[in-house]
Structure 1
Amino acid sequence: MQKNKITIFIYLLGFFILSNARIGVSHADENSKWNFNGYYTVDLTYADDDLVLVSNSKEQRSYKDGELSLINSIFGGQLEYSFNDKISAFVQGSLYADRNESIKFNLDWAYLSYDLGHDLNMRAGRFQIPFLSGTELRRVGFTRLWARPLIPGNGASGNEYHNGIEFVKHYNKGVNNWEFQLALGQAKHELEDVGNKGIQLFSTKYQRENFWIRSALMYSEFSLTSPLGVRLTDSGHAFLGSLESEWQFDKFQLNLGYSDTQTVYVPEDKMLYASLAYHINDKVTPYLVGVRRNQHFELFPNSGTSPPANGDGTPRPIPPQGDKDGYILGIGTRIELSPKTTLKFQLENIRDKDTTRVQNGIMRSDGNAFSIMLEGIF
C-alpha cells in the first residue's frame, strides 16, 4: 500500500513538472522556436482474476485477483526545436512505473527532421517502429478511441524501437490523400539472445473523407543464441505484414486490423482486431472491441538435449514449444470532457490459453478487467 502511495505521488509530481514545463516554454517567447506538448493517462483498473493486459508503456501489466491499481498510468512530453523552416529536432519521453513499481523514464523518440520539399520529409535518429497505426502513438492514449492500444504487447515481433533513417512522403490530389513511409535502421529486440542486424519497413496509407486503409511490410535480420547457450544462426530473418482500415458511415465507426509474422527461431505473432463504435454526439462514443492474439513457439534445432546449468548448478528452463493464445472482448465508452481531455470506461473479458510448457499441461485463465481512465494532452 505504501508503494502505491509513493507511485501516485510521483505520477502527480511528474504531471506538475510537465505542466509547468509547458507553461515555461509557452511564455518564454511568443515567437519561440521551442514547442512543447504534454500527454497523460491516469488508469485505474480492477481485475477479478490474475490477468495480463497490453500496456500504454512497453512494460507488461500483470494484475492479481482482486487487485485495484494505477500501475498502467503514464505521463510524457514532446519537445520540438526549429532551427529554421527546413530543419527541426524532436524528442519525446515518458514517465511510468516498471514491473517493480519503480518509476522509469523512457526516451521514445529523438531525431532530426529535414524538409526536402515537395511534401517529402527525411528524419534520422531514434524511432518507434511504425508497423501498426497505433504503434507510434502507443504512449498517447488520448489519440485513440479505446482504453488500450490495439497492438501486440511485444511491438513488431519483439522490436519496438529502431535507430536509423525514415522518409515520409505525402501526396494529395482532390479528396485523395496518400502517405508513404520508408524506415531503415537497426532495432533492439526484447530478447537478450536476439541480436538485430537491421530492419527495412515500407508502409502505405490511403485516405479520403471518412475512410482510410493502411498496409505495412517489414523485413528484419538478426543473429540468435538459444537459451541453452548454443549459437543458432547469424542470418535469421522475419517477414511482417499488416493491414488496417477505418470506415465512418452515418454515426458508426468500424475499425479492422490484421498482422502476421513469418520467421524462424523467435516466436511468430499474429493479431486480429475488430471494433464497432457509435458516435451518439460529438462528445460520447460507446464501442465494442474484440482482439485475438497468437504467439507460436518452435523448439530450437540442434540446441542440445539438456540445458546447461546456471551458476548455482540448477538447470536452465526448457525452451517453450507450442502456442500462446489470447482473446479479448470489451465494451466501453469514450467521453470528451473538453477538446484536450477525455474520460474512458472499459469492461473486458480476457481469456488466455498456453500450451508452450507441455510438461505442465495446458494453462488457462479467464477473467475480467474494468478500467476508468482520464486522458489528455496539454
Structure 2
Amino acid sequence: MKKSTLALAIALASAPALALEQGEHRFNAFGTLGVTYLGGEEDGRSFGIEGQTTDSWRGDQLSKFGAQLQYGLTDTLGVTVQLTAKADQDTWKGNLEWLYLSYQATDELMFRAGRLRTPIYMYSETLDVGYTYPWLRLPDEVYGQVQLTNYEGFDMVYNRGLPFGNLTFQVAVGQAKDRELFSADDQYDIDYDDVFAANIALSTDYGMVRVGYAESSLKDGFDLRPFDGNKGKFTSLGYQYDQGTVVVNAEATKRVIEGTAFPTLDAFYVMSGYHLGDFLPHLTYSQLDEEGTGRQSSWIAGLNYQLTPTVVLKSEYKRVDTSGGYAGQFVETRSEVITRAGRNALGLPTANYDGDIVSFGVEFVY
C-alpha cells in the first residue's frame, strides 16, 4: 500500500480537517468484500463479536459497504453523512454511522454536533474503511472489546502544526441509546449515558503516537441486569509508522467496568510489515487477558497486494488459542457461560479453545 494513497484514503473516509467552501461537496464510497473460515474447533463453535466466523465459508463477518457525503453550507459550516451496509448477525442492515454539522471556528479548531464516531480506538475514525489499515480483520483481541461505534453529541477537534510534526486533540461528550450488544450468543439493548472521551495524537517523521480515554454509564436489557448505571472505562495507547517501506502498528488497551462481576480486560497487539513493491507481507501478535481467569492469544500472518491505487487484495491466516479456562471470543451460550463461571469459582478445570481462521478479501476506496 503506497503511503500517498493511504493518506488519501484516510482523508476521503474520515472527518475533514478543514471545512469545504460554500456549495462545494465531496462524495466517496468504500467497502470490503471478504470471506472467512474457522477450522480446528471440532464442535462447530463460532468466533467473533457476533459469532459470524464459523466452520463454513462466510462473507458476513468481513463484507461491508459505505458511502459518505460532505457538503459546505457556508465557508465555515458543513454537513457530513455516512451510510453503511453490513451484516447484523445473519441479516444485512443499513446504518447511519455519521450525521453531523461541523463548524470551522479557525484553521486549527473545529466543532461538530450530531451523530459522530466514538473515538475509542486508534482506528475508530476509519473503522469501516478497511483500506486504511493493513489487516483484513482488525485484531479481535483489542477491537472486539467495545461494540459501541457511534454516539449522539458534540466534539471538538484541535489541530496544531508544529516545527517537527502535527498535534491533534479531541474531546467528545454525548450519549448512545438503544444500541445492540452481542453477548452469550444473543443480542441485548444497552444505553451508554454520559459518554466522555478524549484523545491526543502526535504525528512526526518517526510515526504517530496516540493516547486515549473514554468512559460512560451503562444501562442494559439483560435479564439479570449486570449493568445498573455502572461506569465503564477504556484507556488506550497506540503507535503507527508507515514511511513507505517498513510498517509498524501497536496498540494497548484496558477495559474496566466498575461495580460489576465483569473482570478487567487488558489487551495489546504488535504488528510489523515490509513493502516489497506492490506486496505487503505482515505479521501480528495479539493478546487479551481477563483478570483472574485466563488469556486469548493469536498470531496473524498476512499478505496484501496493491491491485490498483485504490484497490487492495488481502489474505490472512490467524491462529488463536485460549488458556487458563478462558473462552475468550469463542462464542458460548448463556448456560455455558454460567457453568464456566461456576467451575472457575470452585477451582475446577474448564475447557480451552483453539482455532485456525483463514480470510480472503478485496478492499477499495473511491
Partner of 2:362: 374
Post-superposition CA distance 1:219-249 (Å, at most 9, x none)? 222346763368x744x22332110112457
Shift of 1:144: 0.6
Q: Are 1:354 and 1:362, in contact at CA under 8 Å, matched by a contact in 2? A: no
Q: Are 1:348 and 1:368, in contact at CA under 8 Å, matched by a contact in 2? A: yes
* Pick aligned residue for 1:285 from 280, 289, 292: 280
Partner of 1:107: 96
Post-superposition CA distance 1:48-71 (Å, at most 9, x none)? 2446555xxxx6243333x11222
Percent identity at matched positions? 23
Compare relative contact order (CA 8 Å, sep 6+) and give the higher one, 1 or 2: 2
Aligned equivalents of 1:348, 1:274: Cα separation in 2:
14
1:242 equivalenced with 2:236 (yes/no)? yes
Q: How many residues align?
A: 313
- Secondary structure, in 3 states, of the residue corresponding to 1:363? coil
* Pick aligned residue for 1:171 from 160, 177, 180: 160
Partner of 1:80: 70
1:339 equivalenced with 2:309 (yes/no)? yes
1:148 equivalenced with 2:121 (yes/no)? no
**What TM-score do the two structures reach when normalised by structure 1?**
0.75
Q: Which amino acid aligns with 2:248?
A: L
Aligned equivalents of 2:301, 2:39: Cα separation in 1:
16
Q: Are 2:52 and 2:58, in contact at CA under 8 Å, matched by a contact in 1? A: no
Q: Are 2:86 and 2:92, in contact at CA under 8 Å, matched by a contact in 1? A: yes
- Unaligned stretches of 5+ residues in structure 2: 1-21, 182-187, 329-336, 344-348
Q: What root-mean-square deviation, in Å, do the aligned CA atoms of Structure 1 and Structure 2 show? A: 2.7
* Pick aligned residue for 1:35 from 26, 29, 54: 26
Partner of 2:207: 211
- Secondary structure, in 3 states, of the residue corresponding to 2:223? coil
Post-superposition CA distance 1:195-228 (Å, at most 9, x none)? 4321111100001114110000122223467633
Aligned equivalents of 2:129, 2:95: Cα separation in 1:
14
Q: Which amino acid aligns with 1:240?
A: F
- Secondary structure, in 3 states, of the residue corresponding to 2:126? coil
Aligned equivalents of 1:53, 1:224: Cα separation in 2:
23
* Pick aligned residue for 1:48 from 33, 36, 39: 39
Q: Are 1:134 and 1:150, in contact at CA under 8 Å, matched by a contact in 2? A: no
Partner of 1:160: 149
Partner of 1:354: 327
Shift of 1:47: 2.4
Question: Are the structure 2 counterparts of residues 272 and 115 from structure 1 closer, same or farther at C-alpha, using a change threshold of 3 Å?
Answer: same
Q: Which amino acid aligns with 2:364?
A: G
Larger radius of gyration between Structure 1 and Structure 2: 1
Question: Are the structure 2 counterparts of residues 347 and 287 from structure 1 closer, same or farther at C-alpha, using a change threshold of 3 Å?
Answer: same
Q: Which amino acid aligns with 1:243?
A: L
